A and B are shown apart, each in its own frame.
Chain A
Amino acid sequence: MFNLVPWIVFLPVIGLLLNAAIGRRVGERGAALIAIAASTGAFVVSVLQFLALNAHPEGEVVSLGDWINIGVLQVPWAFRVDTLSVTMMLVVSSVGTLIHIYAAGYMHYDVRYKEDTASYARFFVYLNLFIAAMMILVSGDSYLMLFVGWEGVGLCSFLLIGFWYSRNPDGKFGTLNAQAAKKAFIANRVGDFGFLLAMMMIFWAFGSLNFDAVLPQAESVAPWIILFITLAMLLGVTGKSAQLPLYVWLPDAMAGPTPVSALIHAATMVTAGVYLVARSAPLFVAVPAAQTTVAVVGGLTALFAATIAVGQSDIKKVLAYSTVSQLGFMVAAVGMGAFVAGMFHLVTHAFFKALLFLGSGSVILALERAHHPIDGNGAHHAKPEAHAAHFDPQDMRGMGGLRQQIPLTFWVYLVGALALAGLPPLAGFFSKDEILTDALLANPFVYVLLTAAAFLTAFYMGRQVLLVFFGEARSNPAKKAVESPRVVTLPLVALAVLSIFGGLINLPGLHWFTDWLEHTLGHDLAHVTEFSLIVALLSTLLALGAIYLAWTLYGRQPLKADQTDPLKARLGALFVGMENKWWVDELYAWLIIQPYQRLAAFLANVVDWKFWHDWVHDSLIVNSFQWLARFLANPVDLGVIDGIANGLAATTTGLARGLSFFQTGFVRNYALVTFLGVVLMLGYLVFSS
């Protein structure tokens, strides 16, 4: 059974190769089916691993072959099946498959709105590539193989954010999508730099990169080395899991099609950092200083991003910052040593955040289709003037009252929002509550940060639901919005069910998930958190209060078209800051990007070219050589050497001129001379004797 595990990678790879080769010829349905089949296959294999693991909870390492072997450096292609990796496999493949199905419907419309139907198959190639890379990440048996997946998902993220590479996020032609993609890749690379350093330190400290050789030895290595490793790893985590200070790429990543935002930038890829910390748990536990740092980074990110989410008006941007914030929860949890709670939240968050993103996609699609309808064959019904009038289908200020037009989407969205807000008995309540309980015990400061973030979370989700689904329609498309087709809504319903019942996997008292992870993490690290009624009550009350607050602002008097946000009047400058994301992007541009560009231009144009290439080489060296040459040529050569040489030369020329008289150039003359010579010699020979 365990031997099947490489197929979680092979199947998506086969799917992507098939689609790359024949995707355009088999039509949309064929391409989607291939991709969905590949993803479903990976899911089936994951379930088989899960079943096998129930019988043999200790798991197994399945080796496929050598990769890099140099002396002591031995890194094989090996897959690791244990409870931790199988948890990730199941999340990735189940959410992934649902999103594949959703995308089959969603992209049908998207490629038509972007007028590029040929890209349909391309989308599924990337999607399968992502599943493959993510599976390598979660199942790799060494840090290096994890890194392969780590960078691989980064590449997929780059490709998918820039999927509509010729456009801006609003659908017009431009380069903003491409820039967002580049930004994501580079921010991730900064994190990867940390990961690289961590790996090198690990190798020279432990003599190996395989988990089995490293993790049990954590106690035997000097603490400062472990501290270095964990902090460098933290840099990697901040890149991949969008924590302070590298989180800036994630909101921009919303430029990708909505299924991508759901799959990669909410449910799976961004949680890789959390997985990494959980996987390296023994290292982090070995140095409390690193743990505290990780927890504080997570807590600060959770609160910071939540404040920004409050001020956003783009439906996906709210969710994006919410994702950053929730990732902060998870990172804080694993940082505090609450590995089970962190992983638990990772799982439930995957369900409800995917649901919210896909729901927002359904909303966007409903508005887009109302704005300019297209039939199944891709022909536009819309009149040209409808095209001309620009309409941003993601702007919540242009929505309102959608619960009547698209009831199904509304209900599932509500489930997702409440789960995120952390109301019992939905999934988010249990996982978040476990984190908060652990935080109270481990680090009160982080507990305060997280509780504040939880309050804001409930508030901005309340605000979003009220703005989108309640009140009056604030634009024409919002009045005529149409419910999405079944292929889009079915995955939503499935995810809604998971969001409702997902909390059951680690119900207080049963703690089935804790026992499950204990097989991998060991008893010390996978401790059972006692349910704390006070914490639960407080957070529930806070959430309810936040929702009530949102209702007083946005529900009692629904927003009118072109009305400014009522929160702005209350908060003033604070809201402007939230709206503008605290100017962090601008700060980075001013602090890093522009100086780098100027430095590069200076080095390239002035130092390397004008100074080194043109001046030193072409002027200094060449001129001094020419000066030397002229000096040698004129005074030295002409005066001294030529004086001698010229005398000789003059003699020679004179001689030559005289002799050239005989040189007529006619062969006959030469022959005559030869002949006469012969006659003379003969005569001499004959007559002398």
Chain B
Amino acid sequence: MQLWEAKDVVRAHFGGTAFPTIMLDHALTQGRRMIEMHAKFWWQQGETDFTLTINDGEYDVDASPISLTNFKDARAMSWREPNGVNWEPIAFGTHTKEELDVLYDTNDKGNPEAAALENKTIFLYPPDPDKAYPVRLYRYVWTDNPLQTATDDLLTFFPMALIYAAITWGYEMQLKDLQGAAYWRALLGGQPFGRGGELAKMKKENLKRGWRDQVVLEPRRGPGVASLRRLSNLQIYGNRVS
């Protein structure tokens, strides 16, 4: 479904001329926000490359050189030598800033080893990069609706989610009909909100993608020593008998 088709469906619920187009655009924009608040979806992923400044270990995500005004969250970071071709990982999110402040001196120099995100600033450690290292930030961003005659993953695979969200917003803000809004909100996210409806389907799909791509499961030792932890292994649930 292209954006204009979603717009026409929402329009049809409010009358062709009763819902000003500028309000309709707001409804679709806020509808997308309502959806994206519920998870870090796959279409929000991406990467941004930038270059460190020597002796500068603090970078605002919404300012140069990162310039991500729609930044949502960070996933990972890596770095490479200025003329190198191999990316090396930066431990990102594994330590808090207060821990890293203690671990590193304020004038430690070198390539980036660790990073922490605080508010909208990325702090790199050691705090003084000794070279202008290229850095790659893997991130999530808040997304915008596509152009009028274009589509994206949300509109292609879960168009009703955006439509329900936009209609919910319209009922609340335009019609001021909170009971009507509750009906559309339930279609979007069930009750409790987020546990059903289109949102549940989307989060399930999102989890499947994340499960395959990002989550690593390691068998744990315990009752089933040296064996995989799975449902068919009854030793997990009972005492070892041998």
Does A associate with B in a complex? no
